Structure 1
């Protein structure tokens, strides 16, 4: 069965500056090179889902500029439905500047632009698309009010909702109750719960806190260590695949997009889907860039026979 995945999210043109090490406060350094590519958490997640075989559609907004055309064309290249991307004639297309050091670590500065200018009214024209989908994903690079409106609509039609709370921010009222699965990294999870993630007991404590908020299912991604999962019936920790990372950009987004392509609507195969997602993200970190680094299902199957 092929999952029908809808991503509500951000579309950014990424500018990556390749540097030897991160600058100290007040320090001026030289970049060794510069690259531009399509990105944004939403776009990354949608491309990851599409390349893993999901029938993928996108709800988002770009500016009336060349970068907006560039982003729409990038999604079309992966056969993603772009019919529900609107054009804002007031705000520019979102962008990001990424500092990438020789160890593969990054720092990212994001200009929201048209992404942050989205309004809940955008949802009305997307009801048919949402109704026909299996999985709906959103993150925090677009307004939470829009996510809340879309998630409410999804729940009316029995669609499974996945929330990636990144960049970390407090959930607005009502969003937890319409979120089926939340997927933060350890820093984002601790920010939302107030409980530092240090071991499996603290991961379970985070899960309890999310349950009290109204979210019964949780995956915490913990970089190169692996991922913890908790559902109403099961919990556990799945170690990561050990690889030499070149660039961690889009690793978490690849994880979520790949996960959405495999997971059952009732989350009954969460451990298997999580393992597949970790295979995908382990390939992403061995490559440079955001969208260019995301693997296909065939590449994942070849590397992990």
Structure 2
């Protein structure tokens, strides 16, 4: 089975500043080193899907600048179809500054740029692409209204939709009704439901709240602990693989991209796909950077031996 995955999302050039520890308010510190790499939640998820052998296409927008050309080439280098990436002549390509400390924890500041300037009418040009997809993924680094239009189209054609509500915010009316699976982390889930995630019982309560909000299928990722899942038929917890994390950047995105490469459209193999996704993200956190850290299907398979 080879999934056809379409990602509607963000394209950012990441600048990572490597520091000993996070600065306190008002404190000036020195960075030990600086690296630049291709990133953005959308790009990370698409590359993760492509490296796990999904046939992957991207819907997005870059600025008319060198950073935009750099981002498009980065996706093409992984065999991703970039025909539906538009060029915005008014806004620059998205960017992010990442503070990464010696414990592998990060803080991220994002400039939306061309990502946030995407318009819902762009989706009409993508109908043929969405129509033939198995899975459509989107997150919140691009406007929700664009995602809503794309998800409505996807549901019309029986395409499975996955929403990664990150960074967490209020969700526009109607979007959850056309979402098949929502994948927040524990902080995002608590933001959206108002119920703090501390244990399995609280995750069950989050699932009940999401069901009332109109979404039946849920995965909550809880970092190095693992991932909780809930569907109308089943629920459970898949523990994470224990590794020493160097950099958690793109771990959640790797998880979602890798998951989409394995997941059946009816979600019937969700637990098996979750184990694969956990293994993929456990490799990502042992490496530095966003796109450079995302593993291939062979690396994930080798890890399972």
- TM bucket normalised to smaller: over 0.9
Distance between the aligned counterparts of 1:238 and 1:5, measured in 2? 24
Q: RMSD over aligned Cα, in angstroms? A: 0.3
Write out per-residue CA displacement over residues 214-263 of structure 1, whole angstroms, 9 at most, x where no aligned residue: 10000000000000000010000011000000000000000000000000
Partner of 1:81: 81
Partner secondary structure for residue 224 of structure 1:
helix
1:132-143 alignment runs, 5 A limit: 132-143=132-143
Partner of 1:230: 230
Partner of 1:195: 195
Shift of 1:61: 0.1
Partner of 1:91: 91
Gaps of 5+ in 1: none
Write out per-residue CA displacement over residues 108-166 of structure 1, whole angstroms, 9 at most, x where no aligned residue: 00000000000001000000000000000000000000000000000000000000000
Distance between the aligned counterparts of 1:146 and 1:208, measured in 2? 27
1:1-305 alignment runs, 5 A limit: 1-305=1-305
Shift of 1:304: 1.4
Q: Which consecutive segments of 4 or more residues in structure 1 shift more than 3 A? A: none
Distance between the aligned counterparts of 2:56 and 2:185, measured in 1? 24
Shift of 1:177: 0.2
Distance between the aligned counterparts of 2:272 and 2:301, measured in 1? 14
Distance between the aligned counterparts of 2:106 and 2:202, measured in 1? 26
Query: TM-score with structure 1 length normalisation?
Result: 1.00
Distance between the aligned counterparts of 1:112 and 1:281, measured in 2? 25
Gaps of 5+ in 2: none
Distance between the aligned counterparts of 1:290 and 1:198, measured in 2? 28
Shift of 1:65: 0.2
Aligned length: 305
Shift of 1:303: 1.4
Query: TM-score with structure 2 length normalisation?
Result: 1.00
Write out per-residue CA displacement over residues 261-294 of structure 1, whole angstroms, 9 at most, x where no aligned residue: 0000000000000010000000000000000000
